[in-house]
Structure 1
Amino acid sequence: MQTRRQTLGLLTAAGLAPAFPAGAQPRFPDQPVRMIVPFAAGGPADIIARVLGNAMGSRLGQPVVVDSRSGAGGMVGVEAAARSRPDGLTAVLASTGAVVVLPQLMPRMAYDVGKDLAPVIHVLSVPQILVVSPKLGVRSVAELVALARRQPGKLSYGSAGNGSSLHLAGELFRIRTGIDIVHVPYRGAAPAVTDLLGGTIDMLLADVPVVIPHIRAGALPALAVTAEERLAALPDLPTMEQAGARGVISDTWYALFVPAGTPPDRVAVLHAAAAAALGEGEVRRSLSDQGGTVHGGPPEALAALVRAETAKWGEVIRAANIRID
């Protein structure tokens, strides 16, 4: 069970212990921590949460229980967290869409990220890979852009739905390259990949784990990754910048939040446990297997990320006139 000494040790490891007066060591409840995942069980977010939760639990001295609350692009689970008691026993592994994208698209939201959630730690970011239909006959971003310019309005790109991170990534690519391509929304990335393989659509920007098996099998030509650096899993694949599409940096990131009003000492304990977990080699390897980059950093860094991403994607939403019907 969690003891005062264990709790203080976690805080000391995170550089947070000096914030508490001598003799006033923070206490953390000896109860399971609930980590809400706002997506279906078995998906990438669920895998990330279980890897992180297991490692955090061993440091907290109590289990971290994953609670799947899927629906509405992640908003159902985030709302459940925002409405939970702010006692440090509930957290949510939220992603880009429900934190920075959907709040700018929905006319009414059940929660206000800035008022109802408190940042804990940035966990992982997963970039997208630009893949094209084998029938298209292009093998580079330059060839794709040239083809699109010769045939304005003729080429199509798929996404996981209107307003999804893949939709915004596609719009960012369209805007930065100045091409005219048509958006085709699907109910998830899987059916979009199926139609891409069949040649129904021409291109797709999809998260790494979704398309990497098809790339390795030679079924889908990969043109570039929307990251600042090349992927270790695909070292020959250029970044968008290297391929000539400047400013096309996009990823789906995952981060841990708690309800606003959670006592700072309990946020600190959760942060310290998560930070220690993310520094563990086996945890980093397991998360990297999801095709992303492991992060970390203090809550303030996550808050800054939310502000920067809100501004970035808000600009894309306005420029592309994206709306949810």
Structure 2
Amino acid sequence: MNTRRQFGAIMAGAALLPLARPAIAQPARLPDGPMRLVVPFPPGGPNDLVARVLAQKLGPILERNLVVENRSGAGGVVGTDNVAKSAPDGRSLALTSAGAIAISPALGAPMPFDAAKDLAPITLVALMPELLAVTPSLPVRTLAELIGYAKRNPGKLNFASSGNGSMPHLAGESLRAAAGIDIVHVPYRGAAPAVTDLMAGQVQMMFADMPAMMSQVQSGALRPVALASKERSPLLPETPTLAEAGQPSVEAENWYGLVAPARTPEPIRNLLHEAAARALKDPELVKAYGEQGARPVGNSPAEFRDFIVAETQRWGAIGRRANVTMD
């Protein structure tokens, strides 16, 4: 009887206690208001095209109005810096590129931000192969013929780029070293004027992101020689990779990655990554990127961070070996 009375008293007392409930993690939520995706280059370029397609898919997933904002300057550094210094609430993102967060710091350019400390990698968005093309007046059709011509005419071939220290510049320097040829670098302020002079024969060869030269290649105004990527492009199925053409050490793919301010809370970063990864699997996005020669990626933030480190080391070594300096 005593035992039963004691048990009853315990249960009666317990009934008066507040119910203990397990803690439930609240889902991450972006602050109200519009978001912006900063493109650190002028409208109409490859980076801008990739960003606008991504924004069309990412905005609805996040249930936010995602505005694309172009802030160009210093090879992508200006726009990327703007986001690095923005409020870390998940509403400011940048679709930056190799030049701004890997090549420029590797080559000692004055940087207003530290990519490793001031930016939070979200995901690698897309890879864009560099295409090597020549002016049609040059009597070559293959990489072997181009290298042979350069060796017979040392110092006579000019290769254009979109600027000192740009990926097209470093790709040309990489080919120069690997093939043992004497070619002269001619830097331009952007790809468009360089392509114009390439068509006119003022310069003879150039590496560039595929979209920068595809219409001219398709019209016959430029002649494709090789792709500096791991695999051929469906847009140019007959054009070999540099590895297939005998130069496996020359590989150059520009890339575009999504970053946020470094102090953005981890739950928000995870939310942004999950949304971006989902957007990059959208069939319409995959098709649109493919039409530009780009391949969507969508890796993890940790994988993207490791990728940035590896790219910084690789392009830094190529640039230092060729004594490349930034503008």
Partners of 1:42 and 1:255 lie apart in 2 by: 18
The one-letter amino acid of 1:23's match is: I
Alignment of 1:314-325 (within 5 A): 314-325=316-327
1:58-106 CA distance string (max 9 Å, x none)? 1111111111111111111011011011111111100010010111234
Q: Which residue of 2 aligns with 1:24?
A: 25
1:114-162 CA distance string (max 9 Å, x none)? 0000100110111111111211100110011111112222211000111
Conservation of the 8 A alpha-carbon contact between 2:104 and 2:326: no
Q: Which moved more, 1:144-153 or 1:305-314?
A: 144-153
Alignment of 1:40-189 (within 5 A): 40-189=42-191
Conservation of the 8 A alpha-carbon contact between 2:95 and 2:256: yes
1:182-230 CA distance string (max 9 Å, x none)? 0011111111111111111111111111111111112211111011100
The one-letter amino acid of 1:247's match is: S
TM-score, normalization by structure 2: 0.90
Conservation of the 8 A alpha-carbon contact between 2:107 and 2:320: no
Conservation of the 8 A alpha-carbon contact between 1:54 and 1:63: no
Alignment of 1:207-286 (within 5 A): 207-286=209-288
RMSD: 1.3
Partners of 1:228 and 1:177 lie apart in 2 by: 18
4+ residue runs of structure 1 moved beyond 6 angstroms?
none
The one-letter amino acid of 1:41's match is: P
Conservation of the 8 A alpha-carbon contact between 1:92 and 1:258: yes
The one-letter amino acid of 2:33's match is: Q
Q: Which residue of 2 aligns with 1:300?
A: 302
The one-letter amino acid of 1:317's match is: G
The one-letter amino acid of 2:120's match is: A
The one-letter amino acid of 2:188's match is: Y
Where does the alignment leave 5 or more consecutive residues of structure 1 unmatched?
1-20
3-state SS in 2 of match to 1:136: coil
3-state SS in 1 of match to 2:297: strand
In our comparison, the structure showing a higher alpha carbon Rg is 2
The one-letter amino acid of 1:174's match is: R
Q: Which residue of 1 aligns with 2:13?
A: none
The one-letter amino acid of 1:103's match is: P
Conservation of the 8 A alpha-carbon contact between 1:34 and 1:91: yes
Q: Which residue of 2 aligns with 1:34?
A: 36
Matching of residue 191 in structure 1 with residue 193 in structure 2:
yes
1:264-298 CA distance string (max 9 Å, x none)? 00001111111110011001111222211111111
Conservation of the 8 A alpha-carbon contact between 2:133 and 2:222: yes
Conservation of the 8 A alpha-carbon contact between 1:136 and 1:202: yes
3-state SS in 2 of match to 1:183: strand
Where does the alignment leave 5 or more consecutive residues of structure 2 unmatched?
1-21
Q: Which residue of 1 aligns with 2:12?
A: none
* C-alpha spacing 1:240/1:321, structure 2 compared with 1 (3 Å): same
Partners of 2:221 and 2:43 lie apart in 1 by: 27
The one-letter amino acid of 1:25's match is: Q
